[in-house]
A and B are shown apart, each in its own frame.
Chain A
Amino acid sequence: MALLELSDLEKSFGAVQVLNGVDLQVDEGEVVGLVGDNGAGKSTLMKAVTGVYPVDNGRVQFDGEDLTQIEPGTRRSKGIEMIYQDLALAPQQDVANNIFLGREPTRRLWGLFPNFVDKVKIDQEAQKMVDRLGVHVPTIHIPVGMLSGGQQQTIAIARALTFQPKLVIMDEPTAALAVREVESVLQLIRQMRDEGIAIILISHRLNDVFEVSSRIVVLRRGNVIADLQRDETDMAEVVSYIVGAHT
């Protein structure tokens, strides 16, 4: 059975129908490239998966469970992580706190006061994660806003990986990066895949998509119009689906 199974998802904003009954499956350890023109519904579809947008109709099944009515925080704890294009980092908070944002480990202070954020543990775990990913930051106590775009991207990835996710959705992870930084992000994606994590990669950069994906799904006007094996297709075919020349 597939890890993620979307069936007949529909979503509209007012009069605008953004998703017209989308079906999509993603298996464990699979990298799926999700492509499509602006406004095709890629981001909306992914926010339907993370639960940020409740859907009007259809079903979101993950790891054998129906998550359609489940709120985002719970979905996250069940193993769905999303890395947003704007990275969703809090610039004035330090690297370690950003990695644990929304999931701070707590303990009792002096055995008395409850809900004390375990900053020592946060720092230790964050350091481990940063080392594991080979991120070059001067210190994990530095505010995230002081880091470069590439560094921030890897911090966002580190945050996504800290709680052993089963599925990571990445929205344009390479769009704003320098060439050298792009390569290291693609390398991270391969590393995640090898660890058995499923990845949905949203990107306009077809080169990057072809580089790491095994399947490429094309979304157009809220419908999946092509679901292609990477090895059986080429860039020209994908582009023709994206622009609607190939139907």
Chain B
Amino acid sequence: MSSNGTEGPVAPATSFRFGFGAVARALERTHVRAESLLVLVALAAIMAVLSPVTGDGTRVFLTANNLFNIILASATFGILAIGATFVISAAGIDLSLGSVLGLASVTGAALVVTLGWPWYFAIIGSLGAGAAAGWVNGFIITRGRVPAFIVTLGMLGIARGLALIISNGRGIYGLPEEILFLGQARPWGVPTPVFILIGVALIAHYVLAHTPFGHHTLALGDNENAARATGINVRKQRMKLYTISGLMAGIAGLIFTARVNTGDPTAGLTYELLAITAAIIGGTNLFGGRGSILGTMIGALIMGVLQNGLNLMAVQAYYQQMAIGAVLIAAVWLDQVRAQQRE
């Protein structure tokens, strides 16, 4: 890229991918891909132009209510995408995210509604079921040396089946008010899930970008031998990462339950597609070594804007699935092309 650049200090070529160097460098430091921000802005602009017009002449897409809707819809898979970011930046994968979300949703609801335990058992149950499923993933991956792809694919089936068994295949309705607050209330006019998403994202960002745990996660994804050679306990690290991933699915499951007032065994179906796509287009390296929660949040918003815009344009949900799948493939393809150019 800097073929003519014999003068001046050598800096990573990526800093100059765009004219506005300072912004690009700031993004570089947080591992956010500058393109993903551009894509988000461009996509939002397109959706705004194409969206229907209300009676008083404003674009439906741009109304405050709709923008909240986007974030609200993004909250569930956004939290899943945080889990995906942790495992993928360590060169792992978690395909069970969506199913574990369903299992968590049902477990929490069953404890409170079916068994009549106090409301907070919905929280303990959802988070506990999610973390437990993630822990099992991590245990089998690290002890049995079974590829993460296979273990989490298996868990995708197991967790979904278990969710259907617990709930007898039917939704568990009627949660107490305290739980509904987590999904349906609007303190200061902002939906509660948005607060939860922001809170979880801030903590996750701190952990991934600013703690030794985060540094070790990226190093592990970058070069496992390097991690091991520098005394990082690779096995423990992986266990923790998959448990975190499961915990995120648990939190997302809880929010889902609260939003629809149901422990739903089919909740989160194909959400792993959304979550992994959000993480990848946010700049997480599918092969590990690079990942950023900020980027993932931008990725989740891109997915949210895409879905919302297509909804407003009355595009059938079937096409939306296709669009999301295509975005995932295109993002990784683009990454590969760029990697080849660098070599």
- A interface list, Cβ under 8 A from B: 52, 71-73, 76, 82, 84, 86-93, 97-98, 101-104, 106, 109, 113, 115-117, 119, 138-139, 141-143, 146, 159
A151 CB to nearest chain B CB (Å): 12
Tell me the complex Cα distance, A28–B184, Å.
69
The verdict on A117 contacting B225 (CB below 8 Å), with A90-B219, A104-B215 known, is no
Name the residue among B216, B222, B230 with the largest chain A CB count within 10 angstroms.
B230
The verdict on A139 contacting B222 (CB below 8 Å), with A92-B289, A106-B211 known, is no
B276 CB to nearest chain A CB (Å): 20
Tell me the complex Cα distance, A143–B216, Å.
16
Chain B residues within an 8 Å CB radius of A102: 216, 219, 227, 230-232
Contact with A along B222-243 (1 / 0, CB 8 A): 1101111111110000000000
Tell me the complex Cα distance, A156–B276, Å.
34
> Would you mind naming 13 contact pairs between A and B with Cβ atoms under 8 Å apart?
A52-B229, A76-B230, A84-B229, A90-B227, A90-B289, A101-B219, A102-B231, A116-B210, A117-B210, A138-B10, A138-B11, A143-B12, A159-B230
Q: Is the CB of A138 within 8 A of B222?
A: no
Q: Is the CB of A115 within 8 A of B211?
A: yes
Chain A residues within an 8 Å CB radius of B278: none
Tell me the complex Cα distance, A31–B226, Å.
25
Name the residue among A72, A86, A102, A104 with the largest chain B CB count within 10 angstroms.
A102
B204 CB to nearest chain A CB (Å): 13
Using a Cβ cutoff of 8 Å, how many contacts connect chains A and B?
Answer: 92
Question: Chain B: which residue is nearest A117 at the CB level?
Answer: B210
B202 CB to nearest chain A CB (Å): 11
Q: Does B290 contact A (CB under 8 A)?
A: yes
The verdict on A91 contacting B289 (CB below 8 Å), with A101-B219, A101-B226 known, is yes
Partner of B222, one of A86, A90, A116, A117: A90
Partner of A93, one of B9, B11, B210, B219: B219
Tell me the complex Cα distance, A71–B233, Å.
10
The verdict on A91 contacting B223 (CB below 8 Å), with A139-B9, A146-B12 known, is yes
Name the residue among A88, A90, A98 with the largest chain B CB count within 10 angstroms.
A90
Tell me the complex Cα distance, A237–B218, Å.
47
- B interface list, Cβ under 8 A from A: 9-12, 206, 210-216, 218-219, 222-223, 225-233, 285, 289-290
| A91-B222, A101-B219 known, 19 other contacts, Cβ within 8 Å | A88-B223, A88-B230, A89-B223, A89-B226, A91-B289, A92-B218, A92-B285, A93-B222, A101-B215, A101-B226, A101-B230, A106-B212, A115-B211, A116-B211, A119-B210, A139-B11, A141-B12, A142-B11, A143-B12
Tell me the complex Cα distance, A113–B289, Å.
25
B92 CB to nearest chain A CB (Å): 16
Q: Is the CB of B233 within 8 A of A92?
A: no
Name the residue among B212, B213, B225 with the largest chain A CB count within 10 angstroms.
B212
Question: Chain A: which residue is nearest B232 at the CB level?
Answer: A102
Chain A residues within an 8 Å CB radius of B219: 90, 93, 97, 101-102
Chain B residues within an 8 Å CB radius of A87: 226
Chain A residues within an 8 Å CB radius of B210: 109, 116-117, 119
Tell me the complex Cα distance, A88–B232, Å.
12
B217 CB to nearest chain A CB (Å): 11
Partner of B231, one of A73, A138, A142: A73
A80 CB to nearest chain B CB (Å): 11
Chain B residues within an 8 Å CB radius of A52: 228-229
The verdict on A88 contacting B211 (CB below 8 Å), with A138-B10, A142-B12 known, is no
